[in-house]
Amino acid sequence: MFSVQHCFRFWAAKQSFISVRPSLFCYRNFVMAEQISEECRYIDIGANLTDPMFKGFYHGKQSHEEDFDEVLQRAVNQGVKKMLVTGSNLDESRLAIKLAEEHKSLLYATVGVHPCHALDVENFPDPEQYMTEIEELAKDAKAAGTVKAFGEIGLDYARLHYAPADIQRKYFIRQLDIAEKLHLPLFLHMRDCFDDFRNILIPRLPNLPKGGVVHSFTGTMQEMHSLVSYGFSIGINGCSLKTEEGLQVVKSIPLDRIMLETDAPWCEIRPSHASSKYLDKTDSAVESVKKEKFVKGKMVRGRCEPCAISQVARVVAQLKDMEVTELCEIAWRNSIQMFSFDE
C-alpha cells in the first residue's frame, strides 16, 4: 500500500517525426482561438505523438503531408496545456524525448517498453544491453526534466500475436527492477491480464513510492476498485467509454484517482460507442475529413488527436453529474501531483 501522501483525496474548486528535426512550432508563440474557454485546462497524460500518422503515413503509405504542428495547435486551442508523449520501445522513447526537448513546457515524455514490443527486447542481440539503454535514457531524461514517467510497461493478453505472455512477463518484471531505481511514477498498460498483472506488480509497491496510473483503462468494476485500493490512478479515454459496462466503471472511479487522456491516434469516441450519446456535433473540436481528402487545418477522420480530450472530459463529467470545468480541474490537480509538472 502506498503512503498516506499518495492516498489522500484531492479537492478542487471551480476556477478560473515524426522526424527529429528543428520545428517552427513554438508554444509561447501560439495565438489562442477566441472560442476557447479559459475555465478548462487539460493535461493529456497519454498521447502517441511519435506515431507515423502524424506525418501522414498510414500502414506504411503516405496519404497526406505532415501536420504535426497543426495537431499541437488544435490541442492548445482546445485548452490542452501539457501532453505526455508515450514511449513504447527504445527508439520511440528517444523520439518522445526529442519531441519534448523541441516543445518545452508543452510536451513531456515517458520511457519504457510496451508489452506488445517485448519481442523487440527478446530478439535484440543483447537483451540486457537493451534494458541498460532504457534505464540510462530514462535516468538522463528525468534529470533533464523531459521524462515524467516510466512506461508504457505492463501486460497485454488481448494481443498475444505481438508477444507471447511469458516474454511479456519477463520484461515487465525486468522493467520493474529498473523502476525501483528510477523513482518515477509508472505509466502502466493492462489488458485481459489482471491476475498476472496484480501478482507481479503489487509485491513491488513498497519499492515504488511514486505509484502510477493504469492508462487507457478497460477493465472491470472489481479490477478498478482493486487497483484504486492499492493507490493507483486510472487513465480514461475513448476506449474506457466504449461500452455501457465501461461507463458504469468510470462513473464509479473516485475523483481523486481520475486522469484524462486520448491515447492519440487511437481510442477516439466513435458514434457506435456507448459514450456517444453524451455528445453532440458541437462537441467536435474541428471538422474532420477522410485522409484521402486531407485539407490543412482539418482533423483526419479516424485519427484521434489530443484536442479530443474535451470530449472525454464532457462524457466523464456527465457520468459524474458535475460541471465539466470542475471535473477538468480535479483531473488537472491529480496529474500535476503525480507527474510533478510545473504549473
Cell numbers that stand for 126 in this block: 543483447
In tens, the pLDDT along 187-198 reads 999 999 999 999
Q: What is the DSSP string of 32-89?
A: --TT--TT--EEEEEE-TTSGGGGTEETTEE-S---HHHHHHHHHHTTEEEEEEPP-S
In tens, the pLDDT along 7-46 reads 333 333 333 333 333 343 433 333 333 343 457 999 999 9
Is it the case that residue 1 has pLDDT exceeding 50? no
In tens, the pLDDT along 45-63 reads 999 999 999 999 999 999 9
Q: Which pLDDT belongs to residue 50?
A: 98
Cell numbers that stand for 333 in this block: 490537480
Task: Indicate the residue type of 119.
Answer: L
In tens, the pLDDT along 126-161 reads 999 999 999 999 999 999 999 999 999 999 999 999
Q: Which pLDDT belongs to residue 18?
A: 36
Q: What is the DSSP string of 241-270?
A: GSSHHHHHHHHHS-GGGEEE---BTS----
Looking from the CA of 188 toward its CB, the CA atoms found within 13 Å total: 32
| Separation CA 152–CA 187 (nearest Å) | 5
Q: Which pLDDT belongs to residue 313?
A: 98
Q: Which pLDDT belongs to residue 301?
A: 96
CA distances from 67 to 55, 59, 299 (A): 6, 17, 9
Q: Which structural domains are found in the chain, ordered by start?
A: 40-339 (3.20.20.140)
Cell numbers that stand for 193 in this block: 491480464
| Separation CA 190–CA 67 (nearest Å) | 31
Is it the case that residue 318 has pLDDT exceeding 60? yes
Residue 280: pLDDT band with limits 50, 70, 90: confident
Residue 343: pLDDT band with limits 50, 70, 90: confident
Cell numbers that stand for 234 in this block: 486510472
Average pLDDT, the chain: 90
Q: Quick one: which H or E segment has residue 147?
A: strand 147-156
Residue 254: pLDDT band with limits 50, 70, 90: very high
Q: Where are the alpha helices (DSSP H) in the chain?
A: 68-77, 90-102, 118-122, 127-144, 165-182, 194-201, 221-229, 244-252, 309-319, 324-339
Above pLDDT 70, what percent of the chain? Answer: 88
**Would you say 102 and 131 are in contact if contact means Cβ atoms under 8 Å apart?**
no
Mean pLDDT of 105-123: 98
Q: Which pLDDT belongs to residue 285?
A: 64
Q: Which pLDDT belongs to residue 201?
A: 98
Is it the case that residue 5 has pLDDT exceeding 60? no
